[in-house]
Amino acid sequence: MKHKHECRPPAPPWEVVRQNPCMLCGEIGRLLHQQMREGTERAGINPSYRPFIHFLNEHDGVTQLDLVKVTHLAAPTVSVTLQKMEQEGLVTRRIDPEDQRQVLVYITGAGRDLHQKVREQIVKTEQRALSGVTEGERQQLLAILSHMRDNLVGERREGTSHEAD
């Protein structure tokens, strides 16, 4: 199944990618995303539901705005996805009893079952990606990637850009 986002210019040569940490992270991210999408599709799961199911399983009863923030998706995209998920019985929306202006989103039993299937797919993909990596290497990798993410998140929060550097 082809997706419109798969139409990309050719990737740089592997020798270039493997020498650039950011390019390598991008390539690994792309491969992980692709394999997760393919695995969830094979399991009959709509891949666009993954971030919602995962978050709601841990933080049930949140607003749609909360989901916009954590998924980094546009509000209309979140709204349409939640409508589909509600039609499939994966989530319900109810008025907040403490603030009648708010609507809260809750995961259903079917949504929790789906979360388990998604989690199994994530574990399989992670095991494949980390095959042959020692626990020490894994901890080093997590520390470095966390540091890189913190740098980028901090930059975005501060509203600064290093484009002129």
pLDDT digits (tens, 9 = 90+) for 110-121: 999 999 988 888
What is the tens place of the pLDDT at every residue in 26-58?
999 999 989 988 888 887 888 889 899 999 999
Among the CATH numbers 1.10.10.10, 3.40.50.920, 1.10.3720.10, 3.30.300.20, which is that of 18-123?
1.10.10.10
- Rounded Cα distance, 55 and 112, in Å: 11
Residue ranges per structural domain of the chain: 18-123
Residue 130: Cβ within 10 Å count = 13
Please state, in angstroms and rounded to a whole number, the distance separating the CA atoms of residues 101 and 148.
39
Residue burial 143-163, b: 16+ Cβ < 10 Å; e: rest = eeeeeeeeeeeeeeeeeeeee
Average pLDDT of the chain is 86
Higher pLDDT, 4 or 126: 126
Percent of the chain with pLDDT over 70: 86
